[in-house]
Amino acid sequence: SQQGEEDPQALSIQEGENATMNCSYKTSINNLQWYRQNSGRGLVHLILIRSNEREKHSGRLRVTLDTSKKSSSLLITASRAADTASYFCAHGSGNTGKLIFGQGTTLQVKP
Amino acid sequence: SAVISQKPSRDICQRGTSLTIQCQVDSQVTMMFWYRQQPGQSLTLIATANQGSEATYESGFVIDKFPISRPNLTFSTLTVSNMSPEDSSIYLCSVTTGEKLFFGSGTQLSVL
């Protein structure tokens, strides 16, 4: 399977703390993306990092990419209770438009 | 961006029956994707649906079980046929307008 792995599977933190989740993948990639899913519903795109980029920021989100290790991390700073959700990394390759999703990390932020 | 209306949002079905899920997009898109998310699991791609051609199925998924229609550039349906309890999952349609995916709100299917 080309599906990537994420760790931790579950993360529970207090509001205000930072949350870090990691993703590994197996194939060469054009880009790596992170998505958020609330309560098992539709996913929402958070951020995309290209294979030639090493770090990217968007608001409270910071994403890193290490193509030599085939890994990425998502950092959410100053977490809020509303950040409680499942987070998935996904990568595409070629021009098919298809994305392969990681196993996901379930984040709980306690108020 | 794209806004996708997916219905039904949830359904409870009897074993052996079929359910058709609809997705309507607010703009014309070439590729639509159907994903399955089994309980507590990640998303698995079922098939890619392009307008004017047959859907392309991923390994482990077949047209007889998951027939897909794509009559135009804004609409698609996925049918889950001859359902069994193992088909209980969330089914999601998505579209791409470039590199990102936009998702419908999902259909939560329970098969008794």
Tokens standing for A8? 């931790």
**Under an 8 A CB cutoff, do B48 and A90 touch?**
no
Confidence of residue A1 (pLDDT cuts 50, 70, 90): low
Compute the distance between CA of residue A57 and CA of residue A100 in angstroms, rounded to an integer.
22
B62-77 pLDDT, tens digit each: 999 999 999 999 999 9
B30-49 pLDDT, tens digit each: 889 999 999 989 999 999 99
Contact residues of A toward B, CB < 8 A: 3, 30-31, 33, 35, 40-45, 48, 88, 90, 92, 96-104
